[in-house]
């Protein structure tokens, strides 16, 4: 990775400030003063020092959290509402969420300090699917869900599910499974609203091949190396 990015990810300074440090000759790589911004380093092999102090790269963290309803996907909330970072160890408060779930939604969300990992899971060009189970009021007929696949327009945006399935239906409520490939803002709720469906509960049950499983609400676990590889295998 580029030297200025390494310094930024290690918490030394912002990327712009790191570039200024490099240009000023304050940074050494393997004992050699570096002033070129195009210099690349291998965090596992190269020794980087700023003003004579060796810089250690931050350990990359990948966390799967079962977000309960009522929590905001943010490090802090001006309104004083609970945030997902309240559920993590204090030393992990610098992690950021990979995508978002709205406050009343629940289910699987990842947190990380690896920007490339976050980008590859959220950018539409990579097509990582997210799976949701949606409980709506009343009995829903399968044909009512067809517009979710063909697409509906809402406030100038085309909303469309990659897959949709009616899991069960009764007089009181129905359970729908949806897969999204892009994940526009509040897309599941907006799709349902366009079809006149009242959402009672919205749970994200999977991201790619990683499922929420038996992880209890409010609890977290770290992703294994094989899970991270599985997530990115289709990219």
Closest-CA residue to 174 (of 182, 166, 183)? 166
Find the catalytic residue in 51, 86, 102, 114. 102
Spatial contact of 19 and 3, defined as CB atoms under 8 Å apart: no
> For the structural domain made of 62-125+213-232, what CATH number should be given?
3.30.70.580
**CA–CA distance, 52 with 90 (Å, rounded to integer):** 30
Spatial contact of 204 and 105, defined as CB atoms under 8 Å apart: yes
- Same CATH fold, 129-207 and 62-125+213-232? yes
| Structure-model confidence comparison of residues 38 and 101, the more confident one | 101
Instruction: Work out the pLDDT band at 125, boundaries 50, 70, 90.
Output: confident
Per the listing, tokens 């190269």 go with 46
User: 68 burial class (0-12, 13-18, 19+ CB within 10 angstroms)?
Assistant: middle
pTM: 0.80
Distance of CA 171 to the CA centre of its chain: 36
Instruction: Work out the pLDDT band at 94, boundaries 50, 70, 90.
Output: confident
pLDDT recorded at residue 5: 85
3-state secondary structure of 121: helix
pLDDT tens figures, 178-225: 999 987 889 999 999 999 999 999 999 999 999 999 999 999 999 999
| Structure-model confidence comparison of residues 132 and 42, the more confident one | 132
Spatial contact of 64 and 206, defined as CB atoms under 8 Å apart: no
Domain range summary for the chain, segments of one domain joined by + = 3-55, 62-125+213-232, 129-207
Max CA distance (Å), the chain: 73
Determine whether domain 129-207 maps to CATH 3.30.300.30: no
Catalytic, 44? Answer no
| Level-2 CATH architecture, domain 3-55 | Roll (3.10)
């Amino acid at each position: 990775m580029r030297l200025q990015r390494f310094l930024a990810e290690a918490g030394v300074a912002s990327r712009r400030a790191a570039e200024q440090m490099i240009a000023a000759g304050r940074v050494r790589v393997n004992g050699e003063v570096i002033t070129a911004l195009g210099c690349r380093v291998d965090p596992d092999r190269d020794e980087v020092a700023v003003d004579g102090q060796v810089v250690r790269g931050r350990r990359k963290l990948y966390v799967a959290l079962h977000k309960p309803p009522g929590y905001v996907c943010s490090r802090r909330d001006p309104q004083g509402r609970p945030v997902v970072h309240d559920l993590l160890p204090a030393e992990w408060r610098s992690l950021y969420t990979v995508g978002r779930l709205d406050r009343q939604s629940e289910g699987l969300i990842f947190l990380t300090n690896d920007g490339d990992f976050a980008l590859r899971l959220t950018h539409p060009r990579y097509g990582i699917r997210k799976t949701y189970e949606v409980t709506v009021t009343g009995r829903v007929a399968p044909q009512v869900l067809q517009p979710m696949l063909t697409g509906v327009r809402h406030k100038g945006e085309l909303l469309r599910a990659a897959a949709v399935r009616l899991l069960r239906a009764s007089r009181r409520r129905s359970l729908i499974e949806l897969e999204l490939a892009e994940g526009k803002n509040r897309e599941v709720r907006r799709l349902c609203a366009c079809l006149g469906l009242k959402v009672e509960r919205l749970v994200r049950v999977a991201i790619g091949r990683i499922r929420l499983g038996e992880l209890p609400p409010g609890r977290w676990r770290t992703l294994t190396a094989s899970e991270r590889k599985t997530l990115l295998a289709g990219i």
